[in-house]
Amino acid sequence: MTTPVLNVRGLRKVYGSAVVLDDLDLTAAEHSCTALIGASGSGKSTLLRCIDLLEVVDDGVVELDGEDITDPRADGNRVRTRIGIVFQSFNLFPHLRVIDNVTLALRRVHKVPRGQAEEAGLAMLDRVGLRARAGARPDELSGGQQQRVAIARALVTKPRLMLFDEVTSALDPELVGEVLSLVRELRSDGMTMLLATHEMGFAREVADRVCFLDGGRVLEEGPPEQVLADPLEARTRQFLRRIIDAGRL
């Protein structure tokens, strides 16, 4: 068996007395797309933040391409250059133009010369359909456009693994589609990705595996058609029932 891109074992994360992740296991093979579902507070975001080393884990291990990145001796900055993350609230830098948002890491972290970085940045913006807005400020863009820039910003450094943290939750319904179709494209390009989402329909379509998080662990996982349509666990059924009642599936 080949080494998975991501291998999480026994992950634990605690905030004060609240245990958010409790002995969580998860693996993601190369070119796989894993959807994380679960109620808010079930630890989806915390898991993604732990994988990107934005949080210090309290126990357990996260391996990226077989390397233990949660080892305190690992260089966190270098690890983060191999992982791309897109947040729910875009988090573009408001004082920088779109193109500068996209090229910041290339120029400052990867030391790519300005001309070359801008070329790569424009190509990436072209891919997300926003080349024409390269000179704009983030606040001149719609939410969907901002999120597409955020995706371009994460992709431009060619990460091994992409993390999507409810990337459409802050968008108006008519803008959700443009972002999802971009994620879909990435998927068909073979990007390895992990996406926390409330879009069950999208999870079913794009993911090859769905993980239901509950009580700080992966309670149930499997192919989307099984987990979403015929879950084994009562908690999963209960969660999906509520989603269906809310008209979201």
Partner 1 sequence: MTATPSLPWQPSQRQRERDAYRRARTRRSLLIAVVSSAVIVAVVVLVVGRSSGWARTRDSFFDLRTGWHDLPALLRALWINLQIMLISEAFILVFAALIAIMRTLRGPVFFPVRFLATLYVDLFRGLPLLIVLLLVGFGIPSLRLQGAPSSPFVLCIIALTLTYTSYVAEVFRAGIESVHPSQAASARALGLSYAQSMRHVVFPQAVRRVLPPLLNDFVSLQKDTSLVSFLGVTEIVLTAENLQSQDFKFVHLVFAALIFVALTVPLTRLTDWIARRQGWINPGSVI
**Which positions touch partner 1 (CB under 8 A)?**
10, 12, 19, 22, 54-56, 58-61, 70-73, 214-215, 219, 235
Q: Which is nearer to partner 1, 72 or 173 (CB)?
A: 72
Minimum separation from the CB atom of position 192 to partner 1 (A): 23
Q: Which is nearer to partner 1, 82 or 131 (CB)?
A: 82
Q: Which is nearer to partner 1, 13 or 153 (CB)?
A: 13
d(CA 233, CA 211): 12
Burial (CB count <10 Å: 0-12, 13-18, 19+), residue 136: middle
> Which residue in this structure is represented by tokens 């989307």?
224
Minimum separation from the CB atom of position 55 to partner 1 (A): 7
CB 200 within 8 A of CB 37: yes
Half-sphere exposure (CA, 13 Å, Cβ side) for 139? 4
d(CA 92, CA 88): 11
Q: Which is nearer to partner 1, 50 or 191 (CB)?
A: 50
Q: Which is nearer to partner 1, 61 or 96 (CB)?
A: 61
Minimum separation from the CB atom of position 87 to partner 1 (A): 13
Minimum separation from the CB atom of position 4 to partner 1 (A): 19
Q: Which of 156, 72, 69, 152 is nearest to 108 (CA)?
A: 156
Sheet holding 83-86, edge to edge: 83-86, 161-165, 192-196, 33-37, 209-214, 217-222
